[in-house]
Structure 1
Amino acid sequence: MAFKKIGLAITFSPNSQALLFEAKRFRELFKAELVLIHIGDYSEVLNAELTKMIDETGIANGTYKLLWQEGDVEDSILELCTTEKIDLLIAGALIKENFLKYYIGSVARTLMREAPCSVLLLTQPSVVRAPFKKICVSVDFSSLSEPSARKAYEVSSLLNCKELFFIREFQLPALATTVYDSGSKEEAQQMRRIWQDEEKNKMELFVRELNITDADVKTVCLYGKQGWEASNWVSENKGDLFVIPSPARKPKLLDRIFQHDWEFVFKQLPCSLLIVKPENAD
């Protein structure tokens, strides 16, 4: 089972109903429990409005848990994800945010960086879901790559996705030195081709070791900075869902300013994003 318990933070915003429909679909797809979270002061009137909105999506009574909690929105959601043992949190996100909002951090961006579970960010939540036809997965050969790839495969199988791409980004630290020392761009290009062939071989071995026999997995090797190249490739090739491993640590302000690793992806989402947190992770 890809995910056992799904969480969704709901508000009275314009896209709340669309997110409820999305949560309903994923709950049915994964045969999972559904926890709906509202952060704010409780009142009978507001509770009735929320319940009505939930009923209008066709989510049956008794198939979900509705939780109210007062306090800071981000901290409360993160706390409930832990206490309720949610393993997939669904949220909506704007494709772009302005400078101020990005560096202060929106609720969605905070959840992406700090959630104790996997996070699915939908850039265009819809009452009627367009199918995910192309799922792209980042592979960096770290300990998180295998669980991310397996989870992406599970999701793609359940969604009957037609295309599954494993993307590997790599850099050659010695390349610039080679060009500077020898002045030969041809030699540098040859080094790059050799390295790219090695990366392709490693990717093919990685796929074989996953033992995925009933899916047509395509591999892509890109030269460049992690996060930048894959995000651009996914955007240019019209990916529907980009799957990445959860960041290893909470980034500091300087990481956001200088765009380390996944910060570029977090700022400019190429499409909907699934951030996979390994099971039993701290």
Structure 2
Amino acid sequence: MKAYVFPGQGAQFTGMGKDLYESSAEAKELFEKANEILGFRITDIMFEGTADQLKETKVTQPAVFLHSVIKAKTLGADFQPEMVAGHSLGEFSALVAAGALTFEDGLKLVSQRALAMQKACEITPSTMAAVLGLEDKVVEDVCASIDGVVVPANYNCPGQLVISGETSAVEKACEAMKAAGAKRALILPVGGAFHSPMMEPAREELAAAIEKTTFSKPVCPVYQNVTATAVTDPEDIKANLIIQLTAPVRWTQSVQNMIADGATLFTEVGPGNVLQGLVKKIDKEAETAGA
């Protein structure tokens, strides 16, 4: 069975999407439509911008989304997903690719999500950290033992978790993780504490936008971050998408469930190859490819 996976924030690179724009009339039309919807020429930043310009919140999330979705659309008849999943932001790309959301609605939601997250990040100093070489349960227990807000945010693969929360609590947790035997516990260069309770203001803002948006039944099951299970009901998809901002990304569990449900080939659609690497770490027998 063919599974398609869509990357999240961090996969962006200068020049992303330029080849698609120049080689496909359909891609060019979609990119120009995106410039119109967003109210600025995101294509100029994607194709020619600096790494710093690409890191701006209002740019990063729509840029990764556009690269993934437009790439999927240019695959034409070759794109026959039997299951899809996306990492964090990538879940929106997966939903558009699977027909649960229109291109326009998906882009508007991603843009609103980025701006809402940016605002939430400015309220309280918060951050994220990568923890390597500990079992999930140990990371969960350490987080629970720390005063202040710090929670597991991304279950990326066995032995690689990202934690998220108030800066001081994350720093304390990092020291405790090292004491518990972590190979590394490293503060990440991110704008704030994504997938933690610190994103509650953004969740409320995004919830209002999601509630107003029409969702359709996708052409195949979507393995959502919040549940890590196959979802096809539009109302369930919406509910999970709203919870996603304050809940952990269960990527390890999603990939394991996709394999249990028959996935034999994981194709990554979008910039980079991070997800192919994670899939291999979750199950070294799994076959992976780039679109």
Name the TM-score, length of structure 2 as normaliser.
0.26
Name the TM-score, length of structure 1 as normaliser.
0.27
Q: Which has the larger radius of gyration?
A: 1
Q: Which has the higher contact order (CA 8 A, sep 6+)?
A: 2
Give the structure with the larger strand fraction: 1
Give the structure with the larger helix fraction: 2
